[in-house]
Amino acid sequence: MMDKTDRKIISILSCDGRANNNHIARELNMSEGTVRNHIKKLSEDGILRVAGGVNPDKIPDKHFFILGVKVAASKDLTNVAEIIAEFDEVLSVCITTGRYDLMVEAWLPVKNGLIDFISRRLASVDGIVSSESFLAMKSLKKWIVTGE
């Protein structure tokens, strides 16, 4: 359960992920140890992860895609989502309502990245009925955290 302090810490880190514990402590008028303990707990609970992000519009050799995926059986949604989420190229997978069962964000090489992803990666997952891809031509307020 997050408290008011947790929310304030997250707000500061959302604006500046490089803010150190001393800076946050001064902003919130509390001790550095208190801030450190809150951040540690938020991280351990899977609520907070601080990472650097890149602007996808500034990286010339990659494209940001969103793919809508239909799954054959509702009972397989979580399993299929978990398999797709393990792919290195995938930034996120959401189980959704509406036209598609899953929305997949992928960060793919410009040359043949999409066709390779669809024909090799997605095609290897049992239970996918169809997919539709959308190229993000311009991204606003989108930062990508990659393992590269």
Q: What CATH number is attached to the domain comprising 15?
A: 1.10.10
In a domain, 146, yes or no: no
Residue-averaged pLDDT of the chain: 94
Distance CA 44, CA 42 (A): 6
Whether 62 and 93 share a structural domain: yes
Which residue range is the domain that position 22 belongs to? 4-44
In a domain, 90, yes or no: yes
Q: Which of 117, 120, 124, 59 is nearest to 90 (CA)?
A: 117
- Residue predicted with more confidence, 50 or 102: 102
Whether 60 and 121 share a structural domain: yes
- Residue predicted with more confidence, 16 or 134: 134
Provide CB contacts within 8 A for 144, sequence distance 6+: 53, 54, 55, 56, 64, 91, 107
Please tell me the predicted confidence (pLDDT) of residue 50: 87
Please tell me the predicted confidence (pLDDT) of residue 15: 87
Whether 64 and 121 share a structural domain: yes
Number of H helices, E strands in the chain: 5, 4
Please tell me the predicted confidence (pLDDT) of residue 55: 92
Whether 8 and 65 share a structural domain: no
Distance CA 64, CA 107 (A): 5
Please tell me the predicted confidence (pLDDT) of residue 41: 96
Whether 62 and 131 share a structural domain: yes
Whether 26 and 64 share a structural domain: no
Residue bearing tokens 């991204």? 139
Q: What is the mean pLDDT of residues 22-36?
A: 96
In a domain, 50, yes or no: no
- The count of domains in the chain is 2
Residue-wise pLDDT tens digits, 63-120: 999 999 999 999 999 999 999 999 999 999 999 999 999 999 999 999 999 999 999 9
Q: What's the CATH code of the domain at 120?
A: 3.30.70.920
- Name the pLDDT band for 147 (thresholds 50, 70, 90): low
Residue-wise pLDDT tens digits, 6-15: 999 999 998 8
Whether 12 and 83 share a structural domain: no
pTM for the predicted model, two decimal places: 0.85
